[in-house]
Chain A
């Protein structure tokens, strides 16, 4: 059966990003989620191809079946038909560090070519210009989850050669570095932006262009990156959302909290 794909003018970039995130969740996966687009992506996955995915929020809600959009990862909305409500030692300690988490979603203010992430300061450590939220559970998740998907905006000042602060470990300075540092998890596997999807070269552990979103060129991606991406000979276009996925997204976020109706 062929999928009922939407045409490029039938969806927004944020909708496409949510669908890209959603496709990373496999049925039965234990997935760590934050608020924003990852929350939408997880809700969409559960309504489509991954109804048995178990969504965990680090504040303590486990196997959540939230039906309304949440503002906070500790939002009571995430308690709706959850299987358990416990706490941080349970989620980040026993469950994550204990090796039970298949996939984690993270955001990033800056990312470098090895997938290392900054969510702490912009500017120098001693005289920062912006105080970002900090690690929260981000470092814990990227350290120990089996697989990581990052969702972020694609801008030159965010895709940088050198981070202002290394909050969370990608592949650090290259092949073998995670193992040498003693990290448990598998590291980043995909970066979803408003322009493209990027994965990691299995040998070099550096970011590699995987697909470009419809209407975006490889040149555009390179112009908006502050480091040299690995670009394969063939870069396919990102798989389009289906009409069903788009319809569901509108019911998941009816008020356009994370996916505003017009872009």
Chain B
């Protein structure tokens, strides 16, 4: 007898409602690739506060969360808007002390997620040695430790594993049971998706489970790890999704220029985030013409 298909689909609004103030989140995507932008915008609309975010490198997505005071702490490695400049909102929030960043390296963060996923309390690595990344810390009681390997005597750095309350991932495709396919690079999402106590996957497309099961080698996150699935087309706009769409560089540049001042950021927030009830209204405002122009020109992935 065949088991009935489990249906893990919820709306973006419902997914964001699950995140409590003060919650700890793994934040997926890497640089311009597959950031959960729609989730960030909705966190702002729902006025979430005091979140802690764990990620390797994020950009406009988290700068929005910093501007709107959704996040108060980050444990991460990289925070800027690549190819354009320093992230604008974080400059003011770090200066006034409302945001603290515990700095690690990209490899250290990826290993911290792997450690969380593996159920071991720490991971060793050969980065951070001899630097202020080891010597200086912001808010963690213990950030990283150097130890001599008990087998070889070689120096290694130990970093604490992370098991956040939620992992938030944006992927190309998932079925309703939560089997996930990701095209292109995967950053640290494979480990991050397995580290969270609950895992929310946003997907450009919800596909029939037979599509997944016809090519099981393409599944990078099996449904066993996944708590909820959200159908969320254009969920990384104005950033990019491999094989689906390119970034909207004019929008990103506008954001960067405008948010250099607090007034400019407040205007961006009201014009592009709080002006709309949800992601679909936001997309309608961007408009089909502008979105179509960004669609990937196959066989190119952008």
Does any Cβ of B come within 8 Å of A256's Cβ?
Answer: no
Does any Cβ of B come within 8 Å of A235's Cβ?
Answer: no
**Count of A residues near B, CB < 8 Å?**
58
Interface contact A139-B127, CB-CB below 8 Å: yes
CB < 8 Å A-B pair total? 198
Q: How far is the CA of A109 from the CA of B246 in the complex (A)?
A: 30
What 0/1 readout, one digit per residue, does chain A (163-181) give for beta carbons within 8 Å of chain B?
0011111001000011001
Does any Cβ of B come within 8 Å of A92's Cβ?
Answer: yes
Find chain B residues with CB under 8 A from A231 CB.
none
Does any Cβ of A come within 8 Å of B106's Cβ?
Answer: yes
Q: How far is the CA of A36 from the CA of B82 in the complex (A)?
A: 9
Does any Cβ of A come within 8 Å of B251's Cβ?
Answer: no
Interface contact A136-B90, CB-CB below 8 Å: no
Find chain B residues with CB under 8 A from A6 CB.
none
Does any Cβ of B come within 8 Å of A128's Cβ?
Answer: yes
Interface contact A183-B78, CB-CB below 8 Å: no
Q: How far is the CA of A80 from the CA of B101 in the complex (A)?
A: 34
Interface contact B107-A92, CB-CB below 8 Å: yes
Q: Which of A88, A143, A172 contacts B187 (CB 8 A)?
A: A88
Given contacts A87-B185, A140-B107, contact A132 B86 (CB under 8 A): yes
Does any Cβ of A come within 8 Å of B128's Cβ?
Answer: yes
Find chain B residues with CB under 8 A from A48 CB.
none
Find chain A residues with CB under 8 A from B135 CB.
166
Q: Which of A120, A183, A257 contacts B129 (CB 8 A)?
A: A183
Q: How far is the CA of A169 from the CA of B131 in the complex (A)?
A: 6
Give the contacts of B229-266 with A (CB-CB under 8 A).
Answer: 240, 242-243, 246-247, 249
Find chain A residues with CB under 8 A from B25 CB.
none
Does any Cβ of A come within 8 Å of B105's Cβ?
Answer: yes
Find chain B residues with CB under 8 A from A92 CB.
105-107, 110
Q: Which of B78, B104, B133, B189 contacts A133 (CB 8 A)?
A: B78
Interface contact B188-A97, CB-CB below 8 Å: no
Q: How far is the CA of A190 from the CA of B90 in the complex (A)?
A: 32
Q: How far is the CA of A139 from the CA of B156 in the complex (A)?
A: 15
Does any Cβ of A come within 8 Å of B142's Cβ?
Answer: no
Find chain B residues with CB under 8 A from A35 CB.
82-83
Q: Which of B83, B183, B189 contacts A87 (CB 8 A)?
A: B189
Find chain A residues with CB under 8 A from B185 CB.
57, 59-61, 74, 79, 85-87
Find chain B residues with CB under 8 A from A1 CB.
none
Give the contacts of A111-140 with B (CB-CB under 8 A).
Answer: 116, 120, 125, 127-140
Interface contact B110-A144, CB-CB below 8 Å: no
Q: How far is the CA of A135 from the CA of B78 in the complex (A)?
A: 6
Find chain A residues with CB under 8 A from B83 CB.
35-36, 70-72, 257
Listed by A's residue number, 24 A-B pairs whose Cβ atoms lie within 8 Å are A60-B184, A74-B32, A75-B32, A76-B300, A79-B184, A79-B185, A80-B300, A87-B189, A87-B190, A93-B107, A96-B107, A130-B86, A132-B80, A134-B77, A134-B78, A137-B106, A138-B105, A139-B127, A143-B128, A144-B127, A165-B136, A169-B130, A181-B155, A182-B146
